[in-house]
Structure 1
């Protein structure tokens, strides 16, 4: 009776083309600690690229040494011979697992071989005994960790110094600019500040007269609007008299003469190096101060309604001040963010340089399946007939009636399905066990085809498949289907290329199936798949 099987399991990978690999060992029986010589041979074209397996463990056997590949040329083909030295320090029967050999990017597997390790009898009467040696510290893979730490500290310090530099420049006190409401207020204040300097008392008479006359000239220019700063003494006095007449200033001749005397005295001090006596300097200061006050009082008072204008000006100044503070704060925040981002970027670049991009991606950016590889695995039993398997997570029992069509369930006596993940997840595991109501000859190839049709029903496209025999470590034979397919993520709409392997066993009028799938380019998915396959064991019933 032909049965069409529908079992929901997911997997994807590359198309595997047949290549012959010969597997042999120098002996199937050795004593504890002795070396087994495992030999893998394959014949390929001269242009082929071959990658033999590597690692510290092959199943439960320790790899003592991986020998160099021997190459024998035979016409336009090469025979490649790869040898490994294996050992085990516990007695018992072991299985050298099927090992993957990659030829031109395609993976094929060697045969598994059973070996036996026997105890070594020790005659303690003849054998000399030695004390246990002290523990030798292992070399750390991170011996140069301090270099990375030093680089990181240097980057942080540089970033911090840049931040302080920006903050200092922003908070650096700028020269205080005093704003005066009127020219007379400005001139009076500057005269007071000049006296506090005590220039002429310190012998700096020339500088004193220069600042004194500049204050007077600047006041006249601002108050009366004549070019006092650029005029000679004679031109200034003439311009002042003319302005007094035009603007009807109540300016006496005595005031103009006193101002002229001080200006001429200043010219003599600056250009003729005349040094006035102390009382003369005091008199000149009074003349300038009185002249400024007299000129101010001589100007006709103009009453203007400018309170609102002054208020508006004050508001604008306060608004400009607050805006400036906000801008400085935004600049500091942006500079801090830029510095922190720069430090992080430089740190990542240093790590990428020393460790590689994959290391940074896995440990800092995160890799979803890396956590599964490094987590605590569970070895458990599922279904009936029992499937024993090691998985990174406990598989969840599914409601069979919701998964299987009713017409198929009519043929089934008992069915159990256990799963982790889904078809479009990064990693998926499915285990199912089925027993049928009627005795039937189960075609494992046809069962594999039924599973692939389930993939198609779930939206899989471009399915490539290859099948071959598969033996568990205890020698139970089954069928394996493996290959690649493309799945579409229903949420993002992205196409994902997946690698899958399906193991199918027929026992006691029943079917046991294991499906594993992961993203094709996921190295951690490949590691998990290999570990799971090496752990598969079944209830040892008679084969159908």
Structure 2
């Protein structure tokens, strides 16, 4: 009686495994292919029992050298079928490795395969054109369509080089030319005059702005760092250089010393004195080009 129960249990176990387990199988229709010949690889899983199958996405199951032409999946009557048609365009031996399929959370694997790819063409094979070759004469527009981007790119490079040369030759000179600096400073002085510091006897604001304009002008026009030098140091530099005439040197010295004295409240200039310093600086700016011309003559430039 006990042996009968034992035999019954074993039979029931095998029946359960047959009913509730899944069977995975794979098949490769050819193990030898010609270059470009289509082969078929098939994976079949039976006994799914409504379980979900997860595998590599479409066209990504086989390795790199396998050019997948068609990848189709079908699930029907508890059976999963995936058919892949592929071709290989290189000679040699290529492997389909062990592939994993997730069946309801359980991983099952296929068996590996090897595919040998051979070149069946021979030197004696004739290659026949479908049609005879026909020569078509090209017109100017045809050549233009073929090479226009090369021509346009070459013209663009030439234009950029030309602009760079012209800018380096003339652009900087125009921006830093003595005439441009002179005109710019004269406009700044005119704006200072329109503020009516002289009429309102706002001597401190007048001299602060007048000195700032003058220092920036000397720095740019004469290449002397007047914007960072103290007045006494600036006067010493002017005396030891030949860039500025004695007349202009005297104007700068008197106006700058007076500006420092006003700034530190050592004197209180009159409107006529402010007017005199303004006109003196303005005339100095106008005469500055003559200083530069004389310097060029001395240096032979």
Q: Could you say which TM-score interval applies, normalised by the shorter chain?
A: 0.3 to 0.5
Q: Identify the structure with bigger relative contact order (alpha carbons < 8 Å, sequence gap 6+).
A: 1
Question: Quick check: which one's strand share is greater?
Answer: 1
- What TM-score comes out, normalization by structure 1 length? 0.21
